Homo-oligomer: A and B are copies of this chain.
Amino acid sequence: MKRSSEALGVPESGAVAGIVGSASPGKEQSVTSLDRWAIGRVAAGMGMPPVNLRLWDGTMPYTHPEPCGTIIFNDRKALWRVIVQPELGLGDGFSVGRIDVDGDLMEILTRCYSAVEANSTKAFKRGLLGRLPEADLNTLTGSRKHIAHHYDLGNEFYKLWLDQQMVYTCAYYETPSATLEQAQVAKMDHVARKLQLREGMQVIEAGCGWGSLALHMARRYGVRVRAFNISKEQLTYARERAAQEQLTEQVEFIEDDYRNIQGSCDAFVSVGMLEHVGLDNFRSLGEVIERTLAPHGTALVHSVGRNRPTPVNAWLEKRIFPGSYPPSLSEMMTIFEPSNLSVLDVENLRMHYAATLTEWLRRFDGNVDAIRRTHDEYFIRAWRLYLAGCAAAFKSGSIQLFQVLVAPPRNNRLALTRQHLYTENPAAAWGSGQ
């Protein structure tokens, strides 16, 4: 059975219209001067981007001397929806095929994002970039619904374009030529090194995805992990892997919300969960870290972020990641400062996420026929837009990836420098019996 568009909140039921080609529905509408005026508004709103804007009759009321591609409005409705509600209008219009692009999707989005960031009119930018997060969105029940929406889309689907280990967060490219598989392993080691993992340590992981980091830490560093998640499909998969690898003694996968975590640990880690926590709950997350982390421990939070508090991308929040909000560093500090946790290290890995997403989109496109067997055209177009759009946003510097390492204030059992992150055998640098 195909995933219905309805499940993703398609704006116009059944309207997966005119996926480029001959049967564009707007062909018969005649273009008016008002339509051409609207195109001028869209171009100005987007900061005069280096693309051409084409209408359904083939005319191009806005052209750029060095265009990297063309954005095509297949009918009047698509155009005017962008004027009224820029961001949702563009995303939804593309997803249903009322808007199309001629050229490389990611390149066009990257150049458009840069133009918006640099030149857009404020009102349009606000509309284009999104809306403020709703308060109290991520209650215990709300979070479960939001997480299921995205992460329970089917493990088979994710297998078609993630790396072999199913790591669905920013990879770490030690060199630009590393493969995605290498970069995901390097990311897990980078995190483990920052946490100075040693054999026998107790680790708590909040938001463990398909379990790859928990299993990697147990296998490679000899630690014991209690890993929390509220996505049923991910947990089923993670538990199967633990059994296959005979790591069930070392790694426990627990279906529960991060707010319910009890017990204590030597290291606390959360990779790619904070985006789903919501500002209102940052204080709760800080309390969980403060309450569970030993005085000699360290905690790492890895999250998509912003340069400053910014409304969430409305289309992404509505169609792809309900309840999500990437925070700025000052907002992230509301996790740590009230708990008097000391920030040791912050690293911005945005170009690594651009590379990761580029590779995910490449694999997605390479397997699109297989994806088409279980997912409809609307879903595929929306997901291509999501992957390409996020890569573009990282490349153009409008979103960031922060890894923040913290420790209780009186923890002096820390590495003197960060040299150990960059040596062949880091364990030796902090005296581990790995």
Taking a contact as CB atoms closer than 8 A, the residue among B172, B348, B396, B418 that contacts A344 in the complex is B348
Residues 297-351 of A at the B interface (beta carbon under 8 Å): 307-309, 328-330, 333-334, 336-338, 340-348, 350-351
In the complex with contacts A176-B416, A329-B333, A333-B328, A410-B114 CB distance below 8 A: yes
Bound-state CA distance A172–B409 (Å) is 20
- Known contacts A333-B329, A410-B117; decide if A347 and B395 are in contact (CB<8 Å): no
**Inside 8 A of A400's CB, which chain B residues have their CB?**
342-343
Tell yes or no: A411 within 8 A of B by CB. Answer: yes
Q: Which residues of chain B come closer than 8 Å to A172, judged between CB atoms? A: 417
Which residue of the partner chain, among B173, B328, B347, B412, contacts A337 with CB atoms under 8 Å?
B328
Residues of B within 8 A of A414 (CB): 351
Q: Closest residue of chain B to A404, judged by CB? A: B346
Taking a contact as CB atoms under 8 Å apart, the answer to whether B418 and A397 are in contact is: no
Within 8 A of B (CB), among A388-426: 395-398, 400, 402, 408-412, 414, 416-419, 421-422
**Cβ A337 vs Cβ B351 within 8 A:** no
Interface residues on A, range: 35 or more
Q: List A residues 161-190 near B (Cβ within 8 Å).
A: 172-176
Q: Which residues of B contact A350 (CB under 8 A)?
A: 342
Which of A308, A309, A398, A411 has most chain B Cβ within 10 Å?
A: A308
A343: contacting residue among B348, B409, B411, CB under 8 A: B348
A418–B411 touching, CB < 8 Å:
no
Q: How many copies of this chain are found per oligomer? A: 2
Inter-chain CA distance A348–B342, complex, in Å, is 9
Q: Which residues of B contact A411 (CB under 8 A)?
A: 397
Contact A419–B416 (Cβ < 8 Å): no
A391 CB to nearest B CB, Å: 13
Least distance between A49 CB and chain B CB atoms (Å): 14
Q: Are B337 and A307 in contact (CB-based, < 8 A)?
A: yes
A421: which B residues are within 8 A, CB to CB? Answer: 418
Q: How far is the CB of A74 from chain B (nearest CB, A)?
A: 31
Taken residue by residue from 184 to 222, chain A's Cβ proximity to chain B (1 for < 8 Å, 0 otherwise) reads as 000000000000000000000000000000000000000
Q: How far is the CA of A410 from the CA of B307 in the complex (A)?
A: 11
B417, A338: Cβ atoms closer than 8 Å: no
- For the complex, give the distance between the alpha carbons of A10 and B348 in Å: 47
How long is the Cα–Cα vector from A411 to B118 in the complex, in angstroms? Answer: 12
Question: Which B residues are CB-close (under 8 A) to A340?
Answer: 307-308
Least Cβ–Cβ distance between A338 and chain B, in angstroms? 7
CB within 8 Å for A337 and B342 given contacts A395-B412, A397-B409: no
Task: State the Cβ distance, A283 to closest chain B Cβ, in Å.
Answer: 13
Find A347's partner among B117, B345, B409, B422 (CB 8 Å cutoff): B345
**Complexed CA–CA distance, A188 and B300 (Å):** 28
| Smallest beta-carbon distance A285→chain B, Å | 16
Cβ contacts under 8 Å, A173 to chain B: 416-417
B337, B398, B408, B418: which contacts A409 (Cβ < 8 A)? B398
Residue of B nearest to A397 (CB): B409
Residue in B118, B342, B412, B417 whose CB lies within 8 Å of A410: B118
Q: Which residues from chain B contact A174 at a C-beta distance below 8 Å?
A: 417, 419
Inside 8 A of A338's CB, which chain B residues have their CB?
Answer: 308
Query: Roughly how many angstroms separate A336 CA and B408 CA in the complex, as a whole number?
Result: 26
**Distance in Å from the Cβ of A139 to the closest Cβ of chain B?**
26
Residues on A facing B (Cβ under 8 Å): 114, 117-118, 172-176, 307-309, 328-330, 333-334, 336-338, 340-348, 350-352, 395-398, 400, 402, 408-412, 414, 416-419, 421-422
17 sample A-B contacts, Cβ–Cβ < 8 Å, listed by A number: A175-B416, A176-B416, A307-B336, A307-B343, A308-B337, A308-B338, A328-B333, A329-B333, A342-B400, A343-B400, A345-B346, A346-B346, A351-B416, A397-B408, A397-B409, A398-B409, A422-B422
Please name the 8 residue pairs, one residue from A and one from B, whose CB atoms are nearest each other, closest first.
A346-B346, A330-B333, A308-B337, A397-B409, A397-B410, A422-B422, A344-B348, A330-B330
